[in-house]
Structure 1
Amino acid sequence: MTTRVALVTGSNRGIGLAIVRGLAEQGVHTALVARTEGAAARAAEPLRAEGLPVSAHQLDVTDVATIGRAVSDIVFEYGRLDILVNNAAVAIDRGFAASSLDQERVRATFEVNVFGAWRCVSAVVPVMKEQRYGRIVNLTTHMASLSTMKGNSPAYRVSKTAVNAMTKVLADELHEDGILVNAASPGQANTRMSYGAASQTPDEAARDLLWLATLPSDGPTGGLFHGRERLPW
């Protein structure tokens, strides 16, 4: 199979689902994943009914076994895995102060936002190295920029700052293998995780993320982007 194949985590709704649609409309076979098989199948059904190349898989980023099984199934069925979009995330500390935040809430945030993304990277990189091709996009947020860091939502902010650092480390490690790694902030979008009034729909937020997922070989790596503009770390 020569068609590109993508995996988008947390993609049964919101921006993740919009990314799946956008990639599939470009002819990329896209694996739509959710924590339960039923949720993934329900989200994929309308897209498949439109004739889009989408498959449904169960994947929980906190469970390494489900990650390994999903990646193995995708590679077995389609022969490759070219694109990983780490979209799955939680924001469960709004209104809390860093100095008094329950550490279990911090751990739960890092378990999904940081370790979940890292687990997925570890699962797909061997395949990408063998292909000498890969695109990894880690979704982050303007709220994680050290240059404008503030105090609210501390666990979410710090977890995404860690994702930014992971992006830089991976980009440096993998660029000679043909694997480009970037972070991207979609900005405020009308989703369940939205902070305040959203300025765009999930489809609008996903539009520029598709660019990073399908970069040419001479595209950027190790960058933090909003739209196609670099942001300060």
Structure 2
Amino acid sequence: MIAVVTGSNRGLGWHVAHQLAGQEYHVVACARRHEDAMAVAASIRQQGGEASPFALDVTHPEQIQELAAWLTELFGGVEVLVNNAGVLLDQGLPLSAISLSQWQRTLDTNLTGAMLMCQMILPLMRASHYGRIVNVSSGYGSLAEMGEHQAAYRVSKAGLNALTRVLAAETADDGIKVNAVCPGWARTDMGGPQASREPADSARWITWAATLDDHGPSGAFLRDGQPIEF
């Protein structure tokens, strides 16, 4: 079983990659820098798991195409995709203070990158009539919880939630489940040291969604294993 995890070099991605390896998945550890991807794979192997590194910036479509070709050649299929790569560039900023470059980079990474990864992975999952896609979202992207500031991040995650629903509908008959997960406020580089959750505890709900059985949900926005409002 092959699991692809983007942004696996730190925070939630690091823990998800290790947790999936602990469940006997061969983890393809993706990170923007090759040495970071290598470090994740080495750590997994040191703990007895199986992993392969891949240098990937999800804002570069050609790199995603290279990953697709590499996965096809080496493994022939993929069972799990965790779209974890993300940025928060406008923390605490009102809309009037966000630069166009911040807006574009946020959408390119958090939304367009995830969309391209899903496009790339679908043929590999459909070939085996099985797949689990997890889009790592946030309560900031919930329309029910929408508030002020960090508009770029909020909009990118709201879009990611919409992408989740569309893709779940399109794959309903393919044995593929697609869900968005809000991991909660975790003590990562993005969440900060004052956050209330341990990264490993938040990551386990992403891992749970990535390993759902046939009775699990699809097209849901989940927090702690329970659906929340989009």
Q: TM-score range by the shorter chain?
A: over 0.9
Match of 1:178 among 169, 175, 179: 175
Cα deviation digits, residues 91-150 of structure 1 (max 9, x gap):
000122113422221111000000010010010001111111111000000111111211
2: CA distance between counterparts of 1:168 and 1:7?
Answer: 21
- The residue number in structure 2 matching 1:224 is 221
Aligned partner of 2:17 in structure 1 is 20
The answer to whether the Cα contact below 8 Å between 1:12 and 1:44 also exists between their aligned partners in 2 is no
Given the alignment of the two structures, is residue 63 of structure 1 paired with residue 64 of structure 2, yes or no? no
1:131 and 2:128 are equivalent in the alignment:
yes
Given that 1:168 and 1:222 are in contact with CA atoms closer than 8 Å, whether structure 2 keeps it comes out as yes
CA RMSD, 1 decimal? 1.2
TM-score normalised by L of structure 2: 0.96
AA aligned to 2:44 is L
* 2:41 alignment partner in structure 1: 44
Q: Show structure 1 runs of 5+ residues with no match.
A: none
Query: Number of matched residues?
Result: 230
Question: Quick one: which amino acid aligns to residue 25 of structure 1?
Answer: G
- Would the aligned equivalents of 2:187 and 2:193 in 1 still touch at CA under 8 Å? no
* Residue ranges of structure 2 left out of the alignment (5+ in a row): none
Q: Which residue of 2 aligns with 1:83?
A: 80
Could you tell me how far 1:55 is from its partner in structure 2? 1.1
- 8 A Cα contact 2:111 2:157, kept in partner: yes
**SS of residue in 2 equivalent to 1:138:** strand
1:7 matched to 2:22: no
> After TM superposition, where is structure 1 displaced by more than 4 Å over at least 4 residues in a row?
none
Task: Write out aligned runs for 1:95-106 (5 A).
Answer: 95-106=92-103
Percent identity, aligned pairs only?
37
Aligned AA (2:195)? A
- Give the TM-score, by structure 1 length: 0.95
C-alpha distance in 2 between matches for 1:101 and 1:59: 26
* Equivalent residues of 1:188, 1:200 under 8 A apart: yes
